[in-house]
Amino acid sequence: MSTETASETTGGDFGRRAARGAAVTMAGQLTRILVQVGSVVVLARFLTPHDYGLFAMVMAVVGVSEIFRDFGLSNAAIQAKTLSTRQRDVLFWANSAIGLALGAIIFGLAYLIAALYGKPELIPLAQFMGVAFVLNGVATQHRASLSRALRFGTLAIVDILASVIALVVAIVFAVLGAGYWALAMQMVTMSATTLVLVLVTSHWLPRLPKRGVDMAGFYRFGWNMVATQLVNYAANNTDSFVIGLRLGAAPLGIYSRGFQLLMNPLNQLRSPITMVAIPVLSRIQDERARVDGYIVRGQIALGYTLVAGLSIVAAAADPIVALFLGERWLEVAPVLRFLTIAGAFQTLALVGYWVYISRGLTARLFRFTLMSASMKIVFVLIGSNWGVVGVAAGFALEPVLSWPLSLWWLNGATPIPIRKLLLGVMRISAVAIIAGVTGYGATLLTVDGGWLVQIVCAAAAVIAAYALLALLLPVIRRDLQMVLILVKAARRSRGSAAAPKPAGPADDGSIA
C-alpha cells in the first residue's frame, strides 16, 4: 500500500470523509429518486402498458451486455489496495473495447430478439439501445476513478444532471407520440450525458496501454464478478422473461410498472450506499474490529430507514398506485406488496455483499449466487401459474430464504459478527411487519378520505408504531438511537470537514 493510501485509512479524517460521502451520496440519490418518480408519473400518462412491455422485452435480453461491459473491472479498481497509473490505463481500454464489441453484438442480436418474441418492431429498438453500452464502456473507469478517490459529491452531481436531462428528452419524445422510443431515448441520453460529465470531472486522460503491466489479479477478480452478475442477471430477469413469453406484453407492462415504481428507486438508494461502503471497507479491510462495527451499524441504518420506508409502501400499496400511476394501473398494487418483501430482505443482506467485494471474495460469492439464483428461478416458474402476482410472490420468496444462508456461507471464508447480524435482521423484520400491518389498518379506516389521505395516515401509523415499540423495547430504542447518531455524525462531517482533493498519482506510481 502506498504511503498516501495508508494515511487515509487512519485517524478521524477518513471517518469524516466516509460519513460525508454517505450523506452527500444519499442526498444526491434522493434527488434522483424524485426524478425517477417524476419519470414514472409523467410518462405513465403518455405511454401504454404495451409500450413498457416492448421496452422490457428488449431490456430483459440486451441488458446482459451491461455486465460484460463492466467485466467487474470497476469494482476491481475500487477494491485494489494499490492501483498504478499504467494499470488504470489498461483497465480503461479494456472496458472501452468490451463496450464497443458488445454494441456490435447487440446490433446483430436484435434480429434474434425480435424473432424470439415474434415482434419485428424490436429490431430497430434493440439496435438503438446498444449505443448506450458503447458509451457506458468508455465511462466505466472514469466513474471508478471518482469513486476510488471518494469524490462522492461529484458522482452525485453527475448522476442527477444525467437523470434530469434524460427525463426531459423522454418527456419531449413521449409528448410527440414516439411511444416506446421515448424510453429508449431516455436510456441513451443518460449514458451520453454521464460520459461527458465524468470525462470533464475526473481530470484524467488515459494513455495508450503498455505491455508487461501486471493485470492478472484484476482480471481474476473481474471474471468472478462477471460470472456472479451473469447468474444474478439471469435469475433477476426470469420474472420478466417468463411473463413476456407466457402471459404477453400487457401483463409484463403491469409487472414492470410495479418493479419500476418500487425497485428502481430502491436500487437508486442502495446503490450509493454500496458505492460508499465498498471503497471504505476496502481501505480498512485488514482491521477486523472496524469492519465488524461498520457492517453492524450499516445493517441497522438500512433496516430503520429503507426497510421502514418499504413497510409504508406495503401498507399503502393501493393508494400509492392509484395516486402515482392512475386507476387503470390498480393491478400493480398486489405486485408492489410482494416486491416490498423482496426489497426488504435484499436490503438487509446487502452488508454481506459489501464484505464479499471489499475482501476480494468474488469466487465464493459466485458459488453462493449459483444456489440462490437456482432458488429464484424455480420459485418464479412455479409462481407464474398464478399470473403476475404469483411471479412477484416467487420473486420475493427467494431473498427471504437465502439471506441467512449468505451470511453463513460468508462466515466460512472470513469472520463476521454473524450472531449480531442475524439477530438484527430478525428484530428489524419483526418491527417492520408490525408497523406495516398497523399502516394497512390505517388505510382501511380512511378509505373515504381519498388516496393522499390514506397514504399520509399509513405513514403516520407506521411511524407511530416504530415510536411505540421503541418506548416499550430498549433494544429497539438503542437501534434507533444508533441511527440518529449516524445521521448527526454525517451532518457534522458535511459542515466541518474540508472537501477532499481529487486523487492523483502517488510518488510510487500508485493511485490513492
Residue 506's pLDDT is: 36
Which residue, chain included where needed, has cell 470497476? 74
* CB contact set of 20 (below 8 Å; sequence gap of 6+): 152, 490, 493, 494, 497
Q: Is 462 left (phi over 0), alpha (psi -120 to 50) or beta?
A: alpha
Angle (nearest 5°) at CA 159 between 158 and 161: 65
Nearest to 428 by CA among 471, 466, 392, 484: 466
Q: Which of 347, 506, 313, 348 lies closest to 426, judged by CA?
A: 348
Q: Sign (positive/negative) of CA torsion 199, 202, 206, 212?
A: negative
Q: Widest CA span of the chain, in angstroms?
A: 72
Buried b (16+ CB within 10 A) or exposed e, 228-262: bbbbbbebbbbbbbbbbeebebbbbbbbbbbbbbb
Position 236 scores a pLDDT of 75
> Which SS3 state, helix, strand or coil, does residue 453 take?
helix
Q: Residue 11: what pLDDT?
A: 44
Of 15, 280, 14, 27, the closest CA to residue 147 belongs to 280
Contacting residues for 217 by C-beta, under 8 A, at least 6 apart: 76, 80
According to the model, what pLDDT value does residue 503 have?
37
Give the pLDDT of the chain (512 residues) as one tens digit per residue: 333 333 344 444 555 555 566 666 666 667 777 777 777 777 877 887 788 888 877 876 666 666 676 777 777 777 666 677 777 778 888 888 888 888 888 888 888 888 877 888 888 888 898 888 888 888 888 887 777 777 777 888 888 889 889 988 989 998 888 888 988 898 899 889 999 998 888 877 887 777 777 777 777 777 777 778 778 777 777 888 888 888 777 788 888 888 888 887 787 778 777 877 877 787 777 778 888 888 898 899 899 989 999 999 999 999 999 888 887 788 889 999 999 999 999 999 989 888 888 887 888 888 898 899 899 999 999 998 888 899 999 999 999 999 889 889 988 888 889 999 999 999 999 999 999 999 999 999 998 888 999 999 999 999 999 999 999 999 999 998 888 877 766 555 544 443 333 333 333 333 33
Burial of 176 (0-12, 13-18, 19+ CB in 10 A): exposed
Burial class (CB in 10 A: 0-12, 13-18, 19+), 208: exposed
Give pLDDT, residue 392: 92
pLDDT value at position 13?
52
- Do the Cβ atoms of 357 and 278 come closer than 8 Å? yes
Grid cell, residue 41, equals 408519473
Domain range list for the chain: 1-236, 238-491
Q: What is the C-alpha separation between 503 and 143, in angstroms, rounded?
A: 13
238: cell is 426470469
Residue 320 C-alpha cell reads as 400509492
Cα–Cα distance for residue pair 103/136, rounded to 1 Å: 10
CB burial class (10 A; 0-12, 13-18, 19+) of residue 496?
Answer: exposed
**pLDDT recorded at residue 452:** 92
222/220 Cα distance (integer angstroms):
5
pLDDT of residue 502: 36
Q: Whose CA is closest to 300, among 368, 348, 371?
A: 348
- Of the chain, the end-to-end C-alpha distance in Å amounts to 9
C-alpha cell at 30: 434522493
CA distance 153 to 150: 8
